[in-house]
């Protein structure tokens, strides 16, 4: 039987009434779709992004839709900026959810030996260092509450690697390793730490990639289509909900069947 959206009730276990959620990379793409979904299910969402103009535009659209939202311009690679984001969020209440969707692709057009170490550093700074800074900043509050949900957006590139994307592959693989180890440290304290590994998803990051790179990645997807931000947002919504209470250190799949592990 086919069901249209709205036909089925939302389980109480995937509602977020009274919860404060931080979503980074929230101005567009997966971050925006996830923030909108969490807000539609009752959360007060703090939208974080370093693109101030686009962030304000996105926050305005949330306001017009009657969703509970605040915004904070944030560079997650900067420790002071991350501290400011968490302080801004805690002023609204206890932060119970972190969804880190901020990311950069880094260089896409050259093999490893032609890259500068500064290009590795810049990609790592957002995709891995930023994830560590965010996690460290929200954990103390979650420990006090004996509850928390942390979800980092990794990538299929962190599992399998893609050619001419060495800095991105490195950072996302490191992120997956960080999630797996970190999850075990807090597994008895009501806190889950998970990741999701999307393949090629329609949005600004995809738009920055050369067409031949997109075709290469599409050729590896059994579903033979691009993913949509909403496809990923639905999985994230479950992963940061009370319903997801016996899964931690896991990398959820959003690859159209490319990686089933």
The dihedrals phi and psi of 211, each to the nearest 5 degrees, come to: -55, -40
Q: What is the CATH number of the domain that holds 25?
A: 3.40.50.720
The answer to whether residue 190 is domain-embedded is: yes
The answer to whether residue 4 is domain-embedded is: no
d(CA 102, CA 142): 21
The answer to whether residue 51 is domain-embedded is: yes
* Contact between residue 259 and residue 223 where contact means Cβ atoms under 8 Å apart: no
Q: What is the pLDDT of residue 117?
A: 98
For the chain, the domain total comes to 1
The single residue listed with the structure tokens 């560590």 is 132
Residues 6+ apart with CB under 8 A from 17: 42, 43
Q: What is the pLDDT of residue 11?
A: 67
The answer to whether residue 260 is domain-embedded is: no
The single residue listed with the structure tokens 């030996």 is 113
The answer to whether residue 216 is domain-embedded is: yes
- Per-residue HEC secondary structure of 143-198 comes to HHHCCEEEEEECCCHHHHCCCCCHHHHHHHHHHHHHHHHHHHHCCCCCEEEEEEEE
Q: What is the pLDDT of residue 3?
A: 37
Q: What is the pLDDT of residue 105?
A: 94
* Contact between residue 191 and residue 147 where contact means Cβ atoms under 8 Å apart: yes
d(CA 169, CA 87): 32
Domain that holds residue 159: 15-254
The answer to whether residue 1 is domain-embedded is: no
The answer to whether residue 261 is domain-embedded is: no
The answer to whether residue 120 is domain-embedded is: yes
d(CA 42, CA 20): 9
Task: Classify each residue of 206-240 as buried b or exposed e, where b means 16 or more C-beta atoms within 10 Å of its C-beta.
Answer: beebeeebeeebbebbeeeebbebebbbbbbbebb
Q: What is the pLDDT of residue 182?
A: 98
The catalytic position among 124, 147, 168, 186 is 168
**Does the annotation count 168 as an active-site position?**
yes
Q: What is the pLDDT of residue 4?
A: 44
- pLDDT tens, per residue, the chain with 261 residues: 343 444 555 566 778 999 999 999 999 999 999 999 999 999 999 999 999 999 999 999 999 999 999 999 999 999 999 999 999 999 999 999 999 999 999 999 899 999 999 999 999 999 999 999 999 999 999 999 999 999 999 999 999 999 999 999 999 999 999 999 999 999 999 999 999 999 989 877 767 677 787 788 788 899 988 899 999 999 999 999 999 999 999 999 999 999 877
Q: What is the pLDDT of residue 5?
A: 43
């Amino acid at each position: 039987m086919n069901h249209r959206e709205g036909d089925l009730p939302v389980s109480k276990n995937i509602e977020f009434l009274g919860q404060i959620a931080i979503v980074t990379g929230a101005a567009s793409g997966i971050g925006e779709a996830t923030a909108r979904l969490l807000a539609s299910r009752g959360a007060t969402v703090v939208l974080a992004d370093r693109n101030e103009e686009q962030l304000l535009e996105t926050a305005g659209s949330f306001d017009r839709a009657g969703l509970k939202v605040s915004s904070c311009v944030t560079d997650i690679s900067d420790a002071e900026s991350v501290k400011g984001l968490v302080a801004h969020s805690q002023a609204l209440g206890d932060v119970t959810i972190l969804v880190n969707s901020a990311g950069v692709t880094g260089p896409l057009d050259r093999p490893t030996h032609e890259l500068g170490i500064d290009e590795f550093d810049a990609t790592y700074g957002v995709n891995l260092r930023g994830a560590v800074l965010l996690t460290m900043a929200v954990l103390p509050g979650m420990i006090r509450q004996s509850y928390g949900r942390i979800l980092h957006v990794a990538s299929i590139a962190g599992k399998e690697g893609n050619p001419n994307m060495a800095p991105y592959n490195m950072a996302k693989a490191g992120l997956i390793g960080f999630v797996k180890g970190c999850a075990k440290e807090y597994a008895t304290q009501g806190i889950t730490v998970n990741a999701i590994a999307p393949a090629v998803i329609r949005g600004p990051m995809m738009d920055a990639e050369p067409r031949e790179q997109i075709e290469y990645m599409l050729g590896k997807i059994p579903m033979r289509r691009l993913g949509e931000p909403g496809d990923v947002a639905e999985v994230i919504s479950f992963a940061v909900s009370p319903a997801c209470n016996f899964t931690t250190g896991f990398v959820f799949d959003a690859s159209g069947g490319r990686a089933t592990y």
